[in-house]
Structure 1
Amino acid sequence: MANIRNLDPSASPLDYYGAELRRLREEADMTQDDLGGVVFCTGSLIGQIETARKVPTREFSERVDAALMTGGLFSRLLGLVLRSQLPNWFQPYAELEAKAAYISSFQAQLVDGLLQTPEYARAVLGVREREDLDADVAARMERQRILDRARPPLVWVVMSEAVLYQEIGGGDVMGEQLAHLLEVGSRDWLKIQILPFTAGAHAGLMGSYYLLRFDDDPDVFYTEDFVQGHMTANSEALREGSLRYDHLQAAALSVEESAALIARVMEERYGHDPDSDARSVA
Protein backbone atom coordinates (compact mmCIF):
# COMPACT_ATOMS: atom_id res chain seq x y z
CA MET A 1 0.00 0.00 0.00
CA ALA A 2 1.31 3.45 -0.88
CA ASN A 3 2.53 5.52 2.02
CA ILE A 4 0.27 8.56 2.38
CA ARG A 5 1.91 10.27 5.35
CA ASN A 6 1.30 14.01 5.09
CA LEU A 7 4.36 16.27 5.11
CA ASP A 8 4.87 19.86 6.12
CA PRO A 9 7.00 21.12 3.19
CA SER A 10 8.37 23.92 5.35
CA ALA A 11 9.68 21.56 8.04
CA SER A 12 13.00 20.85 6.32
CA PRO A 13 14.62 20.64 2.87
CA LEU A 14 14.07 16.88 2.96
CA ASP A 15 10.35 17.34 3.65
CA TYR A 16 10.10 19.89 0.83
CA TYR A 17 11.87 17.53 -1.56
CA GLY A 18 9.46 14.71 -0.62
CA ALA A 19 6.37 16.89 -0.94
CA GLU A 20 7.44 18.16 -4.36
CA LEU A 21 8.23 14.64 -5.53
CA ARG A 22 4.75 13.46 -4.57
CA ARG A 23 3.06 16.52 -6.10
CA LEU A 24 4.83 16.24 -9.43
CA ARG A 25 4.44 12.46 -9.56
CA GLU A 26 0.70 12.76 -9.01
CA GLU A 27 0.46 15.55 -11.58
CA ALA A 28 2.07 13.13 -14.04
CA ASP A 29 -0.64 10.58 -13.12
CA MET A 30 1.97 8.03 -12.00
CA THR A 31 1.91 5.67 -9.04
CA GLN A 32 4.96 5.17 -6.87
CA ASP A 33 5.55 1.85 -8.63
CA ASP A 34 5.21 3.55 -12.03
CA LEU A 35 7.86 6.13 -11.20
CA GLY A 36 10.08 3.55 -9.56
CA GLY A 37 10.02 1.48 -12.73
CA VAL A 38 11.12 4.47 -14.80
CA VAL A 39 13.98 5.52 -12.50
CA PHE A 40 15.14 1.95 -11.73
CA CYS A 41 14.13 1.64 -8.08
CA THR A 42 11.24 0.22 -6.09
CA GLY A 43 7.96 1.98 -5.47
CA SER A 44 8.72 1.51 -1.78
CA LEU A 45 11.84 3.67 -2.11
CA ILE A 46 9.79 6.36 -3.86
CA GLY A 47 7.40 6.23 -0.91
CA GLN A 48 10.21 6.51 1.63
CA ILE A 49 11.64 9.57 -0.10
CA GLU A 50 8.20 11.16 -0.50
CA THR A 51 7.65 10.78 3.25
CA ALA A 52 11.12 12.07 4.20
CA ARG A 53 12.18 8.73 5.63
CA LYS A 54 14.99 8.25 3.12
CA VAL A 55 17.54 10.75 1.80
CA PRO A 56 17.71 10.79 -2.03
CA THR A 57 20.95 10.45 -3.96
CA ARG A 58 22.21 12.64 -6.78
CA GLU A 59 21.72 9.81 -9.29
CA PHE A 60 18.13 9.36 -8.13
CA SER A 61 17.48 13.10 -8.40
CA GLU A 62 18.84 13.28 -11.93
CA ARG A 63 16.72 10.33 -13.03
CA VAL A 64 13.57 11.80 -11.47
CA ASP A 65 14.26 15.14 -13.15
CA ALA A 66 14.42 13.36 -16.49
CA ALA A 67 11.37 11.19 -15.84
CA LEU A 68 9.14 14.05 -14.65
CA MET A 69 10.74 16.69 -16.91
CA THR A 70 11.30 19.10 -14.02
CA GLY A 71 14.09 21.15 -15.59
CA GLY A 72 16.57 20.01 -12.95
CA LEU A 73 14.45 20.90 -9.89
CA PHE A 74 15.39 17.89 -7.77
CA SER A 75 19.08 18.05 -8.68
CA ARG A 76 19.09 21.65 -7.44
CA LEU A 77 17.18 20.79 -4.27
CA LEU A 78 19.53 17.96 -3.44
CA GLY A 79 22.32 20.30 -2.36
CA LEU A 80 20.03 21.83 0.28
CA VAL A 81 18.81 18.39 1.36
CA LEU A 82 22.30 16.99 1.83
CA ARG A 83 23.57 20.11 3.57
CA SER A 84 20.71 19.76 6.05
CA GLN A 85 22.05 16.27 6.91
CA LEU A 86 25.26 17.78 8.27
CA PRO A 87 25.38 18.34 12.05
CA ASN A 88 23.52 21.51 12.99
CA TRP A 89 26.65 23.06 14.46
CA PHE A 90 28.60 22.40 11.24
CA GLN A 91 26.08 23.78 8.75
CA PRO A 92 27.05 27.49 9.17
CA TYR A 93 30.65 26.60 8.38
CA ALA A 94 29.65 24.52 5.33
CA GLU A 95 27.64 27.45 3.97
CA LEU A 96 30.65 29.77 4.28
CA GLU A 97 33.02 27.14 2.88
CA ALA A 98 30.89 26.98 -0.26
CA LYS A 99 31.34 30.74 -0.75
CA ALA A 100 35.03 31.05 0.12
CA ALA A 101 37.57 32.21 -2.43
CA TYR A 102 40.50 30.69 -0.52
CA ILE A 103 40.48 27.75 1.89
CA SER A 104 43.51 26.77 3.92
CA SER A 105 43.54 24.06 6.56
CA PHE A 106 45.82 22.15 8.87
CA GLN A 107 44.89 18.54 9.57
CA ALA A 108 46.52 16.77 12.49
CA GLN A 109 44.77 13.37 12.39
CA LEU A 110 42.55 12.90 9.34
CA VAL A 111 42.50 13.71 5.64
CA ASP A 112 40.70 17.00 5.05
CA GLY A 113 36.98 16.37 4.49
CA LEU A 114 37.14 18.10 1.10
CA LEU A 115 39.72 15.53 -0.03
CA GLN A 116 38.28 12.32 1.41
CA THR A 117 37.17 9.42 -0.78
CA PRO A 118 33.68 8.00 -0.11
CA GLU A 119 35.17 4.84 1.43
CA TYR A 120 37.49 6.79 3.73
CA ALA A 121 34.64 9.10 4.75
CA ARG A 122 32.42 6.09 5.47
CA ALA A 123 35.06 4.61 7.77
CA VAL A 124 35.50 7.92 9.61
CA LEU A 125 31.79 8.66 9.96
CA GLY A 126 30.95 5.05 10.84
CA VAL A 127 33.11 4.95 13.98
CA ARG A 128 29.92 5.48 15.95
CA GLU A 129 26.63 3.90 14.89
CA ARG A 130 24.63 6.31 12.74
CA GLU A 131 21.00 6.24 11.70
CA ASP A 132 21.73 6.85 8.02
CA LEU A 133 25.41 6.48 7.23
CA ASP A 134 24.74 6.64 3.48
CA ALA A 135 23.23 10.11 3.89
CA ASP A 136 26.14 11.27 6.05
CA VAL A 137 28.66 10.14 3.44
CA ALA A 138 26.62 11.72 0.63
CA ALA A 139 26.54 15.01 2.54
CA ARG A 140 30.32 14.99 2.89
CA MET A 141 30.74 14.22 -0.82
CA GLU A 142 28.33 17.04 -1.66
CA ARG A 143 30.67 19.51 0.07
CA GLN A 144 33.36 18.51 -2.41
CA ARG A 145 31.34 19.72 -5.40
CA ILE A 146 32.84 23.19 -4.85
CA LEU A 147 36.13 21.73 -6.13
CA ASP A 148 34.55 20.97 -9.50
CA ARG A 149 33.09 24.41 -10.14
CA ALA A 150 34.14 26.41 -13.17
CA ARG A 151 35.88 28.78 -10.75
CA PRO A 152 36.78 26.70 -7.69
CA PRO A 153 38.27 28.15 -4.51
CA LEU A 154 42.02 28.13 -4.06
CA VAL A 155 42.76 25.34 -1.58
CA TRP A 156 45.92 24.76 0.44
CA VAL A 157 46.10 21.85 2.89
CA VAL A 158 48.88 21.04 5.35
CA MET A 159 48.56 17.58 6.90
CA SER A 160 50.63 15.86 9.55
CA GLU A 161 52.60 12.86 8.31
CA ALA A 162 50.62 10.88 10.89
CA VAL A 163 47.56 11.20 8.64
CA LEU A 164 49.25 8.99 6.05
CA TYR A 165 49.92 6.21 8.56
CA GLN A 166 46.68 6.30 10.56
CA GLU A 167 44.99 3.34 8.87
CA ILE A 168 41.35 4.31 8.39
CA GLY A 169 39.14 1.65 6.82
CA GLY A 170 41.97 -0.79 6.04
CA GLY A 171 44.88 -0.90 3.62
CA ASP A 172 42.84 -0.84 0.41
CA VAL A 173 40.86 2.20 1.53
CA MET A 174 44.05 4.00 2.53
CA GLY A 175 45.78 3.13 -0.73
CA GLU A 176 42.90 4.59 -2.72
CA GLN A 177 42.77 7.62 -0.45
CA LEU A 178 46.44 8.41 -0.95
CA ALA A 179 46.06 7.90 -4.70
CA HIS A 180 43.23 10.43 -4.58
CA LEU A 181 45.46 12.91 -2.76
CA LEU A 182 48.04 12.59 -5.52
CA GLU A 183 45.36 13.16 -8.17
CA VAL A 184 43.72 16.23 -6.62
CA GLY A 185 47.08 17.62 -5.53
CA SER A 186 48.13 17.85 -9.17
CA ARG A 187 45.55 20.55 -9.84
CA ASP A 188 46.94 24.07 -10.18
CA TRP A 189 44.61 25.56 -7.58
CA LEU A 190 44.84 22.77 -4.96
CA LYS A 191 48.08 22.13 -3.10
CA ILE A 192 48.98 19.64 -0.38
CA GLN A 193 51.96 19.77 1.97
CA ILE A 194 52.93 17.12 4.50
CA LEU A 195 54.31 18.19 7.86
CA PRO A 196 56.95 15.50 8.59
CA PHE A 197 57.55 13.81 11.92
CA THR A 198 61.01 15.36 11.88
CA ALA A 199 59.43 18.82 12.32
CA GLY A 200 59.14 18.03 16.02
CA ALA A 201 57.20 20.57 18.07
CA HIS A 202 55.25 22.74 15.64
CA ALA A 203 52.67 25.49 15.36
CA GLY A 204 49.81 23.02 14.80
CA LEU A 205 50.02 21.26 18.16
CA MET A 206 46.82 23.08 19.15
CA GLY A 207 44.95 20.89 16.64
CA SER A 208 43.30 21.07 13.24
CA TYR A 209 41.79 24.31 11.96
CA TYR A 210 40.59 26.18 8.87
CA LEU A 211 41.06 29.68 7.53
CA LEU A 212 38.50 30.93 5.01
CA ARG A 213 39.03 34.03 2.91
CA PHE A 214 36.40 35.78 0.81
CA ASP A 215 36.36 38.28 -2.00
CA ASP A 216 33.96 40.68 -0.28
CA ASP A 217 33.47 39.45 3.30
CA PRO A 218 35.63 39.22 6.44
CA ASP A 219 37.95 36.25 6.83
CA VAL A 220 36.89 33.42 9.15
CA PHE A 221 38.85 31.19 11.54
CA TYR A 222 37.26 27.81 12.35
CA THR A 223 38.11 25.07 14.85
CA GLU A 224 36.25 22.10 16.33
CA ASP A 225 36.18 20.44 19.71
CA PHE A 226 34.61 17.12 20.70
CA VAL A 227 30.99 18.26 20.34
CA GLN A 228 30.83 21.43 18.22
CA GLY A 229 32.53 23.89 15.92
CA HIS A 230 33.78 27.38 16.72
CA MET A 231 33.86 30.10 14.07
CA THR A 232 35.12 33.64 14.50
CA ALA A 233 36.09 36.70 12.48
CA ASN A 234 37.97 38.17 15.45
CA SER A 235 41.06 39.96 14.14
CA GLU A 236 43.38 38.62 16.86
CA ALA A 237 42.28 35.01 16.26
CA LEU A 238 42.76 35.47 12.52
CA ARG A 239 46.19 37.01 13.02
CA GLU A 240 47.30 34.17 15.28
CA GLY A 241 45.84 31.51 12.99
CA SER A 242 47.48 33.02 9.92
CA LEU A 243 50.85 33.32 11.67
CA ARG A 244 50.69 29.70 12.82
CA TYR A 245 49.76 28.60 9.30
CA ASP A 246 52.74 30.44 7.86
CA HIS A 247 54.99 28.56 10.29
CA LEU A 248 53.34 25.23 9.39
CA GLN A 249 53.88 25.82 5.67
CA ALA A 250 57.50 26.75 6.30
CA ALA A 251 58.11 23.60 8.39
CA ALA A 252 56.31 21.28 5.97
CA LEU A 253 57.82 19.49 3.02
CA SER A 254 57.48 21.22 -0.34
CA VAL A 255 54.53 20.32 -2.52
CA GLU A 256 56.77 18.13 -4.68
CA GLU A 257 58.44 16.45 -1.70
CA SER A 258 55.03 15.90 -0.12
CA ALA A 259 53.73 14.16 -3.24
CA ALA A 260 56.80 11.92 -3.26
CA LEU A 261 56.23 10.97 0.40
CA ILE A 262 52.55 10.22 -0.22
CA ALA A 263 53.51 7.99 -3.15
CA ARG A 264 56.15 6.20 -1.09
CA VAL A 265 53.81 5.50 1.84
CA MET A 266 51.11 4.44 -0.58
CA GLU A 267 53.42 1.84 -2.09
CA GLU A 268 55.45 0.67 0.89
CA ARG A 269 52.72 0.60 3.56
CA TYR A 270 49.57 -0.10 1.57
CA GLY A 271 50.91 -1.97 -1.46
CA HIS A 272 49.51 0.40 -4.08
CA ASP A 273 51.61 1.21 -7.13
CA PRO A 274 51.61 5.02 -7.65
CA ASP A 275 52.55 4.64 -11.31
CA SER A 276 49.63 2.27 -11.91
CA ASP A 277 47.18 4.65 -10.25
CA ALA A 278 48.55 7.57 -12.26
CA ARG A 279 47.98 5.62 -15.47
CA SER A 280 44.42 4.76 -14.46
CA VAL A 281 43.69 8.42 -13.71
CA ALA A 282 45.10 9.44 -17.09
Structure 2
Amino acid sequence: MRASRLISVVLLLQARGRMTAEELAKTLEVSVRTIYRDVESLNAAGIPLVGEPGNDGGYRLLDGYRTRLTGLTADEAESLFLTGVPAAAAALGLSEVATATQRKLLAAIPQTARERAEHARQRVHVDLVPWGQEALAEPLLPELHQAIWADRLILVRYGTTTSAIELAPLGLVCKGTPWYLLALRGTAIRTYRVSRLHSLSVTEKCFVRPADFDLVRHWQDAVAAYAETFGRMAVKLRLRGNALLRAQWVQARSRTIAEPDTEGWSDVELVVEDPDNALDVIRTLGNDVIVVEPAALRTDAVAMAQAFVAANT
Protein backbone atom coordinates (compact mmCIF):
# COMPACT_ATOMS: atom_id res chain seq x y z
CA MET A 1 0.00 0.00 0.00
CA ARG A 2 2.76 2.48 0.95
CA ALA A 3 4.81 1.69 -2.15
CA SER A 4 1.76 2.37 -4.30
CA ARG A 5 1.21 5.69 -2.52
CA LEU A 6 4.83 6.76 -3.01
CA ILE A 7 4.48 6.09 -6.74
CA SER A 8 1.22 8.06 -6.73
CA VAL A 9 2.97 11.06 -5.16
CA VAL A 10 5.59 11.07 -7.90
CA LEU A 11 3.03 10.65 -10.69
CA LEU A 12 0.82 13.43 -9.27
CA LEU A 13 3.74 15.85 -9.14
CA GLN A 14 4.83 14.82 -12.61
CA ALA A 15 1.32 15.48 -13.96
CA ARG A 16 0.49 18.69 -12.07
CA GLY A 17 3.90 20.30 -11.64
CA ARG A 18 3.50 21.52 -8.05
CA MET A 19 1.26 20.50 -5.15
CA THR A 20 1.19 21.40 -1.47
CA ALA A 21 1.32 18.74 1.25
CA GLU A 22 -2.33 19.53 2.03
CA GLU A 23 -3.34 18.97 -1.62
CA LEU A 24 -1.44 15.69 -1.80
CA ALA A 25 -2.96 14.53 1.49
CA LYS A 26 -6.51 15.32 0.34
CA THR A 27 -6.02 13.65 -3.04
CA LEU A 28 -4.51 10.48 -1.55
CA GLU A 29 -6.82 10.49 1.51
CA VAL A 30 -4.04 10.43 4.09
CA SER A 31 -2.78 12.86 6.73
CA VAL A 32 -0.40 15.72 6.02
CA ARG A 33 2.07 14.10 8.43
CA THR A 34 2.01 10.97 6.23
CA ILE A 35 2.86 13.09 3.16
CA TYR A 36 5.83 14.62 5.01
CA ARG A 37 7.12 11.12 5.79
CA ASP A 38 6.57 10.02 2.17
CA VAL A 39 8.54 13.01 0.87
CA GLU A 40 11.43 12.15 3.18
CA SER A 41 11.36 8.54 1.95
CA LEU A 42 11.34 9.62 -1.70
CA ASN A 43 14.27 11.98 -1.16
CA ALA A 44 16.17 9.20 0.60
CA ALA A 45 15.49 6.95 -2.40
CA GLY A 46 17.03 9.50 -4.76
CA ILE A 47 13.83 11.04 -6.19
CA PRO A 48 14.67 14.77 -6.65
CA LEU A 49 11.76 16.44 -4.82
CA VAL A 50 12.04 20.16 -4.14
CA GLY A 51 10.03 21.88 -1.38
CA GLU A 52 9.28 25.59 -1.85
CA PRO A 53 7.80 27.76 0.96
CA GLY A 54 5.22 30.55 0.66
CA ASN A 55 1.69 30.96 -0.68
CA ASP A 56 2.75 29.78 -4.14
CA GLY A 57 5.00 27.04 -2.79
CA GLY A 58 4.64 23.31 -2.47
CA TYR A 59 6.48 20.24 -3.67
CA ARG A 60 7.70 19.72 -7.22
CA LEU A 61 10.05 17.42 -9.08
CA LEU A 62 13.41 18.81 -10.08
CA ASP A 63 13.24 20.26 -13.59
CA GLY A 64 13.83 17.63 -16.24
CA TYR A 65 13.08 14.63 -14.02
CA ARG A 66 10.61 12.13 -15.44
CA THR A 67 9.71 8.81 -13.88
CA ARG A 68 9.40 5.72 -16.03
CA LEU A 69 6.85 4.17 -13.65
CA THR A 70 3.98 4.80 -16.07
CA GLY A 71 3.40 1.37 -17.57
CA LEU A 72 -0.18 0.10 -17.24
CA THR A 73 -0.75 -3.10 -15.31
CA ALA A 74 -3.39 -5.54 -16.54
CA ASP A 75 -5.86 -4.34 -13.88
CA GLU A 76 -5.24 -0.68 -14.75
CA ALA A 77 -5.71 -1.34 -18.46
CA GLU A 78 -8.95 -3.20 -17.75
CA SER A 79 -10.31 -0.37 -15.58
CA LEU A 80 -9.32 2.26 -18.16
CA PHE A 81 -11.32 0.61 -20.92
CA LEU A 82 -14.27 0.06 -18.58
CA THR A 83 -14.53 3.79 -17.84
CA GLY A 84 -14.99 4.84 -21.45
CA VAL A 85 -18.41 6.28 -22.28
CA PRO A 86 -18.83 6.36 -26.08
CA ALA A 87 -21.97 8.53 -25.92
CA ALA A 88 -20.13 11.26 -24.00
CA ALA A 89 -17.21 11.24 -26.44
CA ALA A 90 -19.64 11.44 -29.37
CA ALA A 91 -21.51 14.39 -27.83
CA LEU A 92 -18.23 16.28 -27.47
CA GLY A 93 -17.25 15.49 -31.06
CA LEU A 94 -14.42 13.24 -29.92
CA SER A 95 -15.52 9.80 -31.11
CA GLU A 96 -12.74 9.38 -33.65
CA VAL A 97 -10.13 10.77 -31.25
CA ALA A 98 -11.28 8.43 -28.46
CA THR A 99 -11.18 5.43 -30.78
CA ALA A 100 -7.71 6.33 -32.03
CA THR A 101 -6.49 6.80 -28.45
CA GLN A 102 -7.76 3.37 -27.47
CA ARG A 103 -5.98 1.82 -30.44
CA LYS A 104 -2.70 3.52 -29.44
CA LEU A 105 -3.08 2.38 -25.84
CA LEU A 106 -3.76 -1.18 -26.93
CA ALA A 107 -0.68 -1.13 -29.14
CA ALA A 108 1.53 0.30 -26.38
CA ILE A 109 0.68 -1.95 -23.45
CA PRO A 110 1.92 -5.53 -22.89
CA GLN A 111 0.02 -8.41 -24.47
CA THR A 112 -1.43 -9.58 -21.13
CA ALA A 113 -2.81 -6.12 -20.34
CA ARG A 114 -4.09 -5.81 -23.92
CA GLU A 115 -6.05 -9.03 -23.59
CA ARG A 116 -7.55 -7.92 -20.26
CA ALA A 117 -8.56 -4.55 -21.73
CA GLU A 118 -10.27 -6.15 -24.73
CA HIS A 119 -11.89 -8.70 -22.40
CA ALA A 120 -13.40 -5.84 -20.37
CA ARG A 121 -14.48 -3.84 -23.43
CA GLN A 122 -16.45 -6.79 -24.77
CA ARG A 123 -18.25 -7.42 -21.46
CA VAL A 124 -19.26 -4.02 -20.02
CA HIS A 125 -20.88 -1.19 -21.96
CA VAL A 126 -22.20 2.02 -20.38
CA ASP A 127 -25.40 3.40 -21.95
CA LEU A 128 -26.56 6.61 -20.23
CA VAL A 129 -29.85 6.99 -22.11
CA PRO A 130 -32.93 5.78 -20.12
CA TRP A 131 -35.40 3.35 -21.69
CA GLY A 132 -37.97 5.00 -23.91
CA GLN A 133 -35.84 8.09 -24.46
CA GLU A 134 -33.40 9.27 -27.08
CA ALA A 135 -30.06 10.94 -26.50
CA LEU A 136 -30.49 14.70 -26.23
CA ALA A 137 -29.00 16.63 -29.13
CA GLU A 138 -26.50 19.14 -27.73
CA PRO A 139 -25.09 20.92 -30.81
CA LEU A 140 -23.19 23.49 -28.73
CA LEU A 141 -21.16 20.92 -26.80
CA PRO A 142 -18.15 20.60 -29.15
CA GLU A 143 -17.68 24.39 -29.31
CA LEU A 144 -18.15 24.67 -25.54
CA HIS A 145 -15.55 21.98 -25.02
CA GLN A 146 -13.06 23.85 -27.20
CA ALA A 147 -13.68 27.11 -25.31
CA ILE A 148 -13.12 25.35 -21.97
CA TRP A 149 -9.96 23.72 -23.27
CA ALA A 150 -8.56 27.08 -24.41
CA ASP A 151 -9.74 29.03 -21.29
CA ARG A 152 -11.65 31.52 -23.45
CA LEU A 153 -14.54 33.69 -22.33
CA ILE A 154 -17.90 32.98 -23.98
CA LEU A 155 -21.07 34.96 -24.63
CA VAL A 156 -24.31 33.00 -24.24
CA ARG A 157 -28.05 33.52 -24.08
CA TYR A 158 -29.58 31.31 -21.42
CA GLY A 159 -33.14 30.31 -20.65
CA THR A 160 -35.61 33.12 -21.27
CA THR A 161 -33.01 35.89 -21.32
CA THR A 162 -32.70 37.86 -24.54
CA SER A 163 -29.38 39.56 -23.83
CA ALA A 164 -26.03 37.76 -23.89
CA ILE A 165 -24.10 37.14 -20.70
CA GLU A 166 -20.34 36.71 -20.42
CA LEU A 167 -19.09 33.55 -18.74
CA ALA A 168 -15.73 31.98 -17.98
CA PRO A 169 -16.40 28.28 -18.73
CA LEU A 170 -14.68 25.95 -16.27
CA GLY A 171 -15.99 22.48 -17.08
CA LEU A 172 -18.71 20.20 -18.41
CA VAL A 173 -20.54 17.50 -16.47
CA CYS A 174 -22.80 14.79 -17.91
CA LYS A 175 -25.41 13.94 -15.26
CA GLY A 176 -27.23 10.90 -16.61
CA THR A 177 -28.38 12.24 -19.98
CA PRO A 178 -28.31 16.06 -19.57
CA TRP A 179 -25.08 18.05 -19.77
CA TYR A 180 -24.27 20.94 -17.44
CA LEU A 181 -21.80 23.79 -17.80
CA LEU A 182 -19.97 25.07 -14.73
CA ALA A 183 -18.82 28.63 -15.30
CA LEU A 184 -17.74 31.79 -13.56
CA ARG A 185 -20.16 34.70 -13.83
CA GLY A 186 -18.36 37.53 -12.15
CA THR A 187 -16.80 35.91 -9.10
CA ALA A 188 -19.46 33.23 -8.53
CA ILE A 189 -19.33 29.70 -9.93
CA ARG A 190 -22.73 28.83 -11.39
CA THR A 191 -24.30 25.83 -13.09
CA TYR A 192 -26.08 26.05 -16.46
CA ARG A 193 -27.98 23.32 -18.27
CA VAL A 194 -26.48 23.12 -21.75
CA SER A 195 -29.83 22.39 -23.43
CA ARG A 196 -31.05 25.81 -22.23
CA LEU A 197 -28.22 27.66 -23.99
CA HIS A 198 -29.76 29.32 -27.06
CA SER A 199 -26.61 30.84 -28.55
CA LEU A 200 -22.89 30.64 -28.04
CA SER A 201 -20.06 32.89 -29.14
CA VAL A 202 -16.47 32.13 -28.20
CA THR A 203 -14.45 35.32 -27.72
CA GLU A 204 -10.74 35.87 -28.24
CA LYS A 205 -10.34 36.89 -24.60
CA CYS A 206 -8.72 34.38 -22.25
CA PHE A 207 -9.29 34.08 -18.50
CA VAL A 208 -7.35 32.64 -15.59
CA ARG A 209 -8.96 29.61 -13.98
CA PRO A 210 -9.26 29.71 -10.16
CA ALA A 211 -6.21 27.89 -8.81
CA ASP A 212 -8.27 26.02 -6.20
CA PHE A 213 -11.08 24.91 -8.53
CA ASP A 214 -11.50 21.13 -8.82
CA LEU A 215 -14.30 20.12 -11.18
CA VAL A 216 -15.13 16.74 -9.61
CA ARG A 217 -15.00 17.99 -6.03
CA HIS A 218 -17.08 21.10 -6.84
CA TRP A 219 -19.74 19.04 -8.61
CA GLN A 220 -19.96 16.52 -5.78
CA ASP A 221 -20.38 19.33 -3.25
CA ALA A 222 -23.02 21.00 -5.44
CA VAL A 223 -24.98 17.75 -5.84
CA ALA A 224 -24.91 17.15 -2.08
CA ALA A 225 -26.08 20.70 -1.36
CA TYR A 226 -28.84 20.42 -3.98
CA ALA A 227 -30.05 17.12 -2.51
CA GLU A 228 -30.43 18.78 0.90
CA THR A 229 -32.99 21.21 -0.55
CA PHE A 230 -35.44 18.34 -1.09
CA GLY A 231 -37.69 17.04 1.64
CA ARG A 232 -37.58 13.50 2.97
CA MET A 233 -40.68 11.40 3.52
CA ALA A 234 -40.62 7.74 4.53
CA VAL A 235 -43.42 5.62 3.04
CA LYS A 236 -44.16 2.09 4.25
CA LEU A 237 -45.96 -0.21 1.81
CA ARG A 238 -46.95 -3.85 1.38
CA LEU A 239 -46.35 -5.01 -2.19
CA ARG A 240 -46.54 -8.17 -4.24
CA GLY A 241 -46.53 -9.27 -7.89
CA ASN A 242 -45.76 -6.64 -10.50
CA ALA A 243 -45.89 -3.87 -7.88
CA LEU A 244 -43.00 -5.53 -6.08
CA LEU A 245 -41.03 -5.74 -9.32
CA ARG A 246 -41.68 -2.07 -10.13
CA ALA A 247 -40.49 -1.04 -6.66
CA GLN A 248 -36.97 -1.94 -7.80
CA TRP A 249 -36.84 0.98 -10.25
CA VAL A 250 -39.37 3.66 -9.22
CA GLN A 251 -37.75 6.99 -8.38
CA ALA A 252 -36.89 7.13 -4.68
CA ARG A 253 -34.06 8.51 -2.57
CA SER A 254 -33.65 5.12 -0.91
CA ARG A 255 -35.52 1.83 -0.68
CA THR A 256 -35.65 -1.18 1.65
CA ILE A 257 -37.38 -4.32 0.38
CA ALA A 258 -37.92 -7.28 2.70
CA GLU A 259 -38.20 -10.91 1.61
CA PRO A 260 -41.74 -11.95 0.51
CA ASP A 261 -43.90 -13.84 2.99
CA THR A 262 -45.69 -17.10 2.16
CA GLU A 263 -48.41 -15.18 0.27
CA GLY A 264 -45.92 -13.17 -1.78
CA TRP A 265 -46.31 -9.85 0.12
CA SER A 266 -43.19 -7.86 1.00
CA ASP A 267 -42.71 -4.97 3.42
CA VAL A 268 -41.20 -2.07 1.48
CA GLU A 269 -39.99 1.30 2.72
CA LEU A 270 -39.33 4.08 0.22
CA VAL A 271 -37.89 7.49 1.04
CA VAL A 272 -39.33 10.11 -1.33
CA GLU A 273 -39.47 13.90 -1.42
CA ASP A 274 -43.05 14.78 -0.44
CA PRO A 275 -46.69 13.52 -0.53
CA ASP A 276 -47.12 14.42 -4.21
CA ASN A 277 -44.02 12.42 -5.10
CA ALA A 278 -45.33 9.53 -2.96
CA LEU A 279 -48.67 9.50 -4.81
CA ASP A 280 -46.84 9.47 -8.15
CA VAL A 281 -44.86 6.43 -6.97
CA ILE A 282 -48.03 4.62 -5.83
CA ARG A 283 -49.67 5.36 -9.19
CA THR A 284 -46.62 3.88 -10.94
CA LEU A 285 -46.65 0.74 -8.82
CA GLY A 286 -50.15 -0.18 -10.02
CA ASN A 287 -52.21 -2.89 -8.28
CA ASP A 288 -51.27 -5.02 -5.26
CA VAL A 289 -50.30 -2.02 -3.14
CA ILE A 290 -51.21 -1.55 0.52
CA VAL A 291 -50.25 1.80 2.05
CA VAL A 292 -49.22 1.16 5.66
CA GLU A 293 -47.80 4.54 6.69
CA PRO A 294 -48.34 7.44 6.86
CA ALA A 295 -52.10 7.34 7.41
CA ALA A 296 -52.64 10.62 5.55
CA LEU A 297 -51.01 9.14 2.46
CA ARG A 298 -53.29 6.09 2.66
CA THR A 299 -56.32 8.45 2.72
CA ASP A 300 -54.98 10.39 -0.31
CA ALA A 301 -54.25 7.15 -2.21
CA VAL A 302 -57.80 5.88 -1.63
CA ALA A 303 -59.22 9.22 -2.77
CA MET A 304 -57.03 9.06 -5.91
CA ALA A 305 -58.27 5.54 -6.68
CA GLN A 306 -61.93 6.50 -6.13
CA ALA A 307 -61.56 9.51 -8.40
CA PHE A 308 -60.11 7.30 -11.12
CA VAL A 309 -63.00 4.83 -10.82
CA ALA A 310 -65.56 7.63 -10.89
CA ALA A 311 -64.01 9.14 -14.02
CA ASN A 312 -64.03 5.81 -15.84
CA THR A 313 -67.53 4.50 -15.00
Same fold per superposition (TM over 0.5): no
CA radius of gyration, larger in? 2
Q: Provide the TM-score with structure 2 as the length reference.
A: 0.22
| Structure having the larger proportion of residues in strand | 2
Q: Provide the TM-score with structure 1 as the length reference.
A: 0.24
